[in-house]
Amino acid sequence: MFTRIVYISLLLTLVLQCTTIGFHEKKIRERMEFGEESKFRVCLISEPNITKDEISDLFTAWNEELLYYKLKAEPVLLETLERPGFWGTDILGYLMDRQLTKDCDRLLYLKGRTWGDISFEILTLGIFVGVGLKLEVQGAVEGHTNTRGYIKAKYISTIQMLFTSPNSTLIHEGYHLLGCGHQLFMEECYKRIRDVKLLLTDPNRDPHFFPVITTNGKKILTRPEFLTFPNNE
């Protein structure tokens, strides 16, 4: 258990506090070849207060971005579930214990808003305004397989929306789900997505799984059945 906490903390330092993934480089992107149009299925576990319309809006925004890469994310609503814990680490820990079933290429938890969140938001907004520190975490993707993550899918419509929105959070975490890390300029990420799409023709790939390359460069060609903890990675 302790190792797991250490491990999750380590992962979080890599992917936490995401604002922007990098600046687009339109000319470079347009010169790159992203192959054929492909789809991947994103299985959703959603908190009960998130509506179907909100989910649909989120995926419309994400798919607009994915057009650049001839990709489409298809939402598959698995279930609604009360949050496994208050903190992002609780959610990631829960997702890491969950199997990716055969209809899922990725697993995404949609976090809603509870009264606890609202108090926490007010508190952290106060801190943000006061000392310029932002404690709130909008989303994260585990860095072991880059197949599981969560986003905060609801916001209060106040000052918060000036800095981020559920759509931009999904787009951001969506890049991590395709294997991108953070970079100042996007070229590296474009190459990563192109390489992931090239894996679609890899003979060792499970034909029913949309592959990924982790942020560390490890190719994941078959659905991770369970998460083993890294030895020397």
Which residues here bind Zn ion, judged by CB under 5 A? Answer: 18
Q: How near is the Cβ of 225 to Zn ion at its closest, in Å?
A: 26
Q: How near is the Cβ of 176 to Zn ion at its closest, in Å?
A: 6
Nearer to Zn ion among residue 14 and residue 199 (C-beta): 14
DSSP structure class, residue 201: G
Distance CA 115, CA 143 (A): 30
Nearer to Zn ion among residue 18 and residue 220 (C-beta): 18
The alpha helices in the chain, defined as continuous H runs, are: 2-15, 26-31, 52-66, 88-97, 115-131, 160-163, 166-177, 187-198
Distance CA 159, CA 177 (A): 28
Distance CA 113, CA 92 (A): 17
Among residues 169, 32, 132, 146, the alpha carbon closest in space to that of 100 is found at: 146
Are the CB atoms for 200 and 211 separated by under 8 Å?
yes
Nearer to Zn ion among residue 18 and residue 186 (C-beta): 18
Distance CA 15, CA 211 (A): 20
Nearer to Zn ion among residue 193 and residue 209 (C-beta): 193
Nearer to Zn ion among residue 107 and residue 151 (C-beta): 151
Q: How near is the Cβ of 110 to Zn ion at its closest, in Å?
A: 17
Q: How near is the Cβ of 174 to Zn ion at its closest, in Å?
A: 10
Q: How near is the Cβ of 11 to Zn ion at its closest, in Å?
A: 12
What are the φ/ψ torsions at residue 41 (nearest 5 degrees)?
A: -100, 125
Q: What is the DSSP string of 50-78?
A: --HHHHHHHHHHHHHHHGGGTEEEEEEEE
Distance CA 26, CA 194 (A): 15
Nearer to Zn ion among residue 147 and residue 223 (C-beta): 147
Q: How near is the Cβ of 188 to Zn ion at its closest, in Å?
A: 14
Which residue number is nearest to Zn ion in terms of Cβ? 18
